Amino acid sequence: MKLDVLFSPVLIDELFFTGKTTVVIDILRASTTIVFALANGAKEIVPVGTVEFAVKVSGGMFGGQTLLGGERNTKKIEGFALGNSPSEYTSETVGGKIIVFYSTNGSRAIVKAKYSDNLFICSFNNIKALAKHLNKLNEDVIILCSGNNNFFCLEDSVCAGMLVNELITGKKINELTDASISAMTLFKAFGKDIYKMLSETEHGQLLIKNGYGEDLKVCSQLNNMDVIPFYSGNAIKVLK
Amino acid sequence: MKLDVLFSPVLIDELFFTGKTTVVIDILRASTTIVFALANGAKEIVPVGTVEFAVKVSGGMFGGQTLLGGERNTKKIEGFALGNSPSEYTSETVGGKIIVFYSTNGSRAIVKAKYSDNLFICSFNNIKALAKHLNKLNEDVIILCSGNNNFFCLEDSVCAGMLVNELITGKKINELTDASISAMTLFKAFGKDIYKMLSETEHGQLLIKNGYGEDLKVCSQLNNMDVIPFYSGNAIKVLK
**By C-alpha distance, which of A121, A117, A138, A140 is closest to A130?**
A121
Residue A160 sits in a domain whose CATH number is 3.90.1560.10
Query: What ipTM was predicted for this assembly?
Result: 0.95
Kindly state whether residue A167 falls inside one of the protein's structural domains.
yes
| pLDDT at residue number B60 | 66
| pLDDT at residue number A46 | 96
Q: Judge whether residue A63 has pLDDT over 70.
A: no
**Other CB atoms within 10 Å distance of the CB of residue A118:** 18
Kindly state whether residue A240 falls inside one of the protein's structural domains.
no
Interface residues of A toward B, Cβ cutoff 8 Å, are 5-8, 10-11, 148, 150-155, 157, 177-179, 181-182, 185-186, 189-190, 201-203
Give the range of the structural domain holding residue B191, as residue numbers without chain letter. 2-238
pLDDT band at A59 (very low <50, low <70, confident <90, very high): confident
Task: In whole angstroms, give the CA distance from residue B135 to residue B142.
Answer: 14
Task: In whole angstroms, give the CA distance from residue B101 to residue A104.
Answer: 39
Strand spans (E) along A115-239 = 118-122, 141-145, 175-176, 229-232, 235-238
* Phi, psi values for residue A98, rounded to 5°: -95, 130
HSE on the CB side for B189, CA within 13 Å? 20
pLDDT band at A37 (very low <50, low <70, confident <90, very high): very high
Residue-wise pLDDT for A128-183, tens only, equals 999 999 999 999 999 999 999 999 999 999 999 999 999 999 887 789 999 999 99
Q: Is B136 exposed, middle or buried (0-12, 13-18, 19+ CB in 10 A)?
A: exposed
Q: Judge whether residue A224 has pLDDT over 90.
A: yes
Residue-wise pLDDT for A66-100, tens only, equals 999 999 999 999 989 999 999 999 999 999 999 99
Sheet hosting strand B235-238, strand order edge to edge: B75-76, B66-72, B98-102, B44-47, B235-238, B229-232, B118-122, B21-25, B141-145, B2-6, B175-176
* Phi, psi values for residue B116, rounded to 5°: -60, 150
Q: Judge whether residue A13 has pLDDT over 70.
A: yes
Kindly state whether residue A239 falls inside one of the protein's structural domains.
no
Q: What is the mean pLDDT of residues A175-204?
A: 98
Task: In whole angstroms, give the CA distance from residue A207 to residue A141.
Answer: 30
- Give the minimum alpha-carbon distance from B199 to chain A in angstroms, rounded to a whole number: 12
Kindly state whether residue A11 falls inside one of the protein's structural domains.
yes
**Measured between beta carbons, which residues in chain B are less than 8 angstroms from residue A7?**
7, 152
Residue-wise pLDDT for B49-80, tens only, equals 999 999 888 876 656 689 999 999 999 999 89
Enumerate residue ranges in chain B where pLDDT < 50: none
Kindly state whether residue A67 falls inside one of the protein's structural domains.
yes
Task: In whole angstroms, give the CA distance from residue B106 to residue B144.
Answer: 10
Q: Mutate which of B178, B187, B188, B201 to test chain A, going by most A C-beta atoms within 10 A?
A: B178
Task: In whole angstroms, give the CA distance from residue B239 to residue A203.
Answer: 37
What rounded mean pLDDT belongs to chain A? 95
The structural domain count of chain B equals: 1
**Measured between beta carbons, which residues in chain A are less than 8 angstroms from residue B181?**
154
